[in-house]
Amino acid sequence: MNVKVRPLTTAEARPVASPSGQAVHSVRNTAGPEVKSRWKRWRSHSCHSSPDFRVIRFAVASRVTVIILSVLSDWTIPDHEPDPSVARLRVSGWLSAFTRWDAARFTAIGMEGYMHEEDYAFMPVLPMAISISARAAGAVFPLSGPEHFVVMGLLITNGCFVLAAWLLYRLGLVMLQDQLLAFRSAIVFCLSPANVFFSSVYTESPFAACCFGGLLLQELNRPLQGAILFGIGTGLRSNGILNAGFLLYQCLHVTLQDMQKGTGLLQTLLANTRKHVLLTLGVAISIGPFLAFQVYAIQKECYAQGVQGGCGETDEAGQCSLSEQAEQPPAWCQASFPSVYLHVQKKYWQGGMFCYWQLKQAPNFLLAAPALALTALGVHHILRDFCKQLRFWKREEDLRPQRTAFSSLCRAMRLCPLLPHALHWGFLAAYLFLCANVQIATRVLGSGCPIFHWFLASLLFSRNSSKTPWLLKCYVGTFNCLGLIMHPNFLPWT
């Protein structure tokens, strides 16, 4: 895919200082002459030395390294015995390192379908992909048992990671106007603090590929194709519905641009009917898989003939077995707007406003603290830049009465293209902090927010004299080491 970097206007080319005070590392700054000449030399080499190939090669090397270290960790450290209610999947050999925690759930759903109530916390696209690919491979090769489901899951997730790294680099070229920072961000993604999850049978890698690819298509003015990727992402992770916000933001921006010309709201909507219809359709595509999954669960557990849906008995592991049904449908079916996902999150993972805020969960808040702190700093930086632009153009507007009311807002939005990313990043982090099992924040933000990696890379490679780069390197290295030690051995690193 040939992505052309958009030229900057004179106003856009003004450096914006990073939190460290170094404009050269700002996520809105262009590359300097030295950087440009360096990249010209890179591009003059063969295709094997191109930045695209280097990103792909580094991503593949990182996955091989993580897989090998995970297996070695599993072999050398005795496994922790988790609570009996935690799903287990018995596989032989080196594959056991990749069946921990949620990976066992996804693989089991791919093998058997949704058998337990808490399985509905896991969206269906990855289990479907594992099931289809494993059965297709089984038709060609003499495979049997859960091992080939795990192998297919690993191939899918690690292949998607390599694709996601390349898409992040391409998206960075378009959004950052800085090739070196785009390249470094892709490398930082390959060294993510949530690295171990990207190589296990988790949804993080496929979701990142869908998210980054959808955003890239949006920037290339292909909103419908981007919405399709957003929809697939929603089928992988429920927080994918937030990606519809990028389409809504684009719709708002188009409307304000027309209204600043003095056109009324109704005339603006009528003049851009086709564009607004496409964006509205894109929103529906983005959130549709989540709604369809809820409808499927309602039909299966609440209204299916012969299935009354309760949880009268549990299996040996203490899980709610759907094969042993009570006579009455489950309580969540009686709600005005029944949602099995919200019910399961609240019942099994303490989902809900402040429900996770318990003293015993303090270690999990500490695990999420670095990612949440980075988010707060990054969002503050982008919003501060936007407010500066807005105040500047507001003063210009006051000096030129002929300008319309929305001109300053439109200019500020145009000159701060990272604003929707910052809003999405901040909202998702706030939800995780207030309403969810907060320990998943690092992997959720790392897989769903490209700006997380852009901002982290801008700080890691900062040339200022503060200790921030050194502290961030310690953070990335420590979380990688702890993840590779704890997760493959069933220690609490989820």
Cα 353 to Cα 342, 356, 408, 410, distances in angstroms: 12, 8, 36, 35
pLDDT for residue 73: 97
What is the total count of domains within the chain? 1
Query: Domain for residue 188, yes or no?
Result: yes
pLDDT for residue 407: 79
Query: Domain for residue 387, yes or no?
Result: yes
What lies within 8 Å, CB to CB, of 444 at 6+ separation is: 204, 237, 239, 428, 432
Q: How many CA atoms lie within 13 A of 284 on its CB side?
A: 6
Cα 129 to Cα 36, 163, 235, distances in angstroms: 42, 16, 11
C-alpha to C-alpha distance for 48 and 335, rounded to whole angstroms: 58
What lies within 8 Å, CB to CB, of 272 at 6+ separation is: 254, 255, 258
pLDDT for residue 15: 40
Q: Helix or strand or coil: residue 11? A: coil
| 42 burial via Cβ count (<10 Å: 0-12, 13-18, 19+) | middle
- Token readout for 27 is 């996520």
Query: Domain for residue 95, yes or no?
Result: yes
C-alpha to C-alpha distance for 386 and 391, rounded to whole angstroms: 9
- Token readout for 394 is 């507001």
Averages of pLDDT over runs of 10 residues in the chain (494 residues) are 37 40 42 51 58 97 98 94 82 92 96 94 97 90 85 97 98 96 98 97 98 97 96 98 96 81 67 82 97 95 62 56 61 90 94 95 96 98 94 73 69 92 98 97 98 97 85 96 96 88
Write the single-letter amino acid at 110: G
pLDDT for residue 88: 84
Query: Domain for residue 438, yes or no?
Result: yes
Query: Domain for residue 310, yes or no?
Result: no
What lies within 8 Å, CB to CB, of 399 at 6+ separation is: none
Query: Domain for residue 28, yes or no?
Result: no
- Token readout for 389 is 């632009």
Domain holding 86, by residue range, is 52-304+337-487
Q: How many CA atoms lie within 13 A of 189 on its CB side?
A: 38
Query: Domain for residue 388, yes or no?
Result: yes
**pTM for this prediction:** 0.87
Query: Domain for residue 160, yes or no?
Result: yes
- Token readout for 387 is 């407010």
Cα 73 to Cα 66, 161, 234, distances in angstroms: 10, 21, 32
